[in-house]
Amino acid sequence: MASDPPSLRFTPLQSFVESSFFTQLAHLKLEKYKLDDSTREICGFQSPPSKLNKFDDKPILRLDDRSFATGTKTEAETETETDSNAGAWSLVGSLTNVNTIEEFKAINKQDLLNQWGRSMAESMQNTTKFDYDTFNRFSMISFSDLKKYKFYYWVAFPTLQSSWEITRKSSVDEDLLKLIISEASGEAEAKGQFYQLSDNKLLDSFSQDKDLSCFVFFDSCLSSDRRPSAQLKNYLYFLAYKGIKNIRLVVYRNNYSSFSLDLQLMDLPQDLKIVGWERTSQGKLGPKLADLSQLSNPRQLASQAVDLNLRLMRWRIAPELELDVIKNQKVLLLGAGTLGSYVARALLGWGVRDISIVDSGRVSYSNPVRQSLFNFEDCFSEHGRGGVKATTAADNLKRIFPGVDAKGFELEVPMIGHPITDEETQAAQYQNLNRLFDESDVVFLLMDSRESRWLPTVMGAAKGKTVINAALGFDSYLVMRHGSVQQDQGSRLGCYFCNDIVAPEDSLSDRTLDQMCTVTRPGGALVASSLAVELLVSLLQHPDKQNAKHDGSSKFGATPHQIRGFLHSFTQSKFHAPNYAHCAACSTKVIAEYKQRGWQFVKQCLNEAGYLEDLSGLKQVQEEAELAARQLLSELELDEGDGDDEDENKGEDEDEEWIS
């Protein structure tokens, strides 16, 4: 009994998605696509038969970072031979990247495949040319989990079904093979994959002149089982749709294993039958997972993850947010205590990568519970002593995020009211501080004494730096930005010392334990630190930056001068105060003298009591105030003629006692 003729079988097309594809997809998702999950055109690359070898013997579609550039076919063909896509066929496709894994799971895969197949069938039925782009398309659905850097995807090659059986197998006639080779060495292969043979020529369009037609398929598969690539299916469907029932097909391969098949049409379904979802390596229908977290550098992944929250802000909430201007700031923190620790952490969250920390203290056992950059182990790192606060804080910042350029500097800021005791050492510390100011864009004043903030305030004003000040009381806090000399004199905002009528002085000597430690409600530092960083961010989003008006508004909110909060009543208010002409820190005379004399000016301020008040004009203000007070008291004295002498003398004695 004769066996039934064998049906024609195929080798499925497979996808190979390089990691660069997903890296580019992640970038586009964050920066461009955001919540837009509309379908987008992409392209893939396939090696033509002449490029195949024994290591590349299956039909493979490659996707990489260039897949997102439309119109890349010409570019791919003109790249150098060292490029993996050089000379490759470009395959047009589409990508639908959804926003949640639930959406990815809920997609009706067969309905979607039918939609793609019907669109392809319509294009094929309305053409007579064997155009490669028309007969070969692919589609891809995906979900990008950018927190874990995992990508779920499924590729489909929509294929229209028609049943053909093999009536005869044979080798290719030698003369015909020479003709095909001759054509293939010319421009035929560059035009497409399927041709009709007529009058010893390969035609790239269809003709129904002959009952028995001969066609040539440039196979992208070199497998030994002689199953042609599944890309042949769509060409066969086209012939069946055009009414061709018998054909001779030459399957050309460049490894001398070409063969000829006589095929007979068995069935063309009235309703389109469409297949094409790619199977997994286990042969099952299902999506694939690309886990790039296992392949990428952990530091690179950390950097991408740190920026993730910031980029997500621009999807819905703040599309105009300028992240680079924040990221590029060079920030100097003066103080590595409670405020310094929380400010540093908040800056990391905003993407700041360059942070310098100054402090002269060491980590003590009381620090770790209140200061988030220190651990218990930091309290006894050197010969039983705690580690240097500044360098320990910088090191721990790097442990939190290795991509930060954090540096710690152990130095003591020269303080007004504290005379020079070791000029060589203190002058060197001043020079280091001066260098750090020059190298920074933003300075945070986060120290625990008033006088330690004086010199940084002077330097910040003189050098035109953005200065943010945060100070704590027991259940209150102050966050403010210092005014800039670049502001108009009439609208220039004040600094931390502009409300003082005396110069800052020594407040640290002869202090009890509760006065030496910053005794404050723990939550106040978190609130103040957060507000200080958020104030900076708001300023950086304003076109005038630090020169923004106190009642102005940036792309990211208000730009106040001062924020004062009270935890006991849970209230918060915004204030502003103008620059004081006789301020001991930012007045014109003080800044001019500092610019001219530098360290010599600082030394004189520290060593000579009263010099700074004299220079700024505060001394004259005090004298005028005392004179006005005496005049007021004089006007309030009783006239001598009122009452008897004894009562008058008694009243005078009481007045003298009250005045003294």
Which active-site residues does the annotation give?
Answer: 517
Could you tell me which of 406, 470, 462, 415 has the C-alpha nearest to residue 434? Answer: 462
- What is the full DSSP assignment across 63-132? E-GGGGSTT-HHHHHHS-TTSTTTTPEEEEEEEEEESSHHHHHHS-HHHHHHHHHHHHHHHHHT--B--H
Q: In this structure, what are the phi and psi dihedrals at residue 383, rounded to the nearest 5 degrees?
A: 50, 45
Q: How far is CA 280 from CA 12, 95, 154, 285, 407, in A?
A: 12, 19, 9, 6, 49
- What is the full DSSP assignment across 631-652? HHHHHHSPPTTSS-HHHHHHHH
| CA gap 598, 293 in Å, rounded | 52
Residues β-bridged to residue 11: 229
Residue type, 74: T
Tokens 């003591």 appear where? 412
- Residue 618, helix vs strand vs coil: helix
Cα 98 from chain centroid (whole Å): 21
| CA gap 652, 633 in Å, rounded | 13
- Alpha-helical (H) ranges within 332-473 are 338-349, 389-400, 423-439, 454-463
Residues β-bridged to residue 574: 563
Cα 540 from chain centroid (whole Å): 17
Residue type, 355: I
Task: Name the token pair of 546.
Answer: 């630090």
Q: Is 142 left (phi over 0), alpha (psi -120 to 50) or beta?
A: beta
Question: 144 near 97, Cβ under 8 Å?
Answer: yes
Sign of the four-CA dihedral 189, 191, 193, 199: negative
Q: In this structure, what are the phi and psi dihedrals at residue 244, rounded to the nearest 5 degrees?
A: -80, 130
Question: 15 near 278, Cβ under 8 Å?
Answer: yes
Q: Tell me the residue length of the chain.
A: 660
Name 504's Cβ contacts closer than 8 Å, sequence gap at least 6: 416, 417, 450, 451, 453, 454, 497, 584
Task: Name the token pair of 121.
Answer: 């069938």
- For residues 515, 521, 526, 528, the Cα torsion angle rounded to the nearest 10 degrees is -70
Q: How far is CA 130 from CA 239, 244, 248, in A?
A: 11, 15, 17
Residue 559 sits at the vertex; the CA angle it makes with 554 and 565, to the nearest 5 degrees, is 140
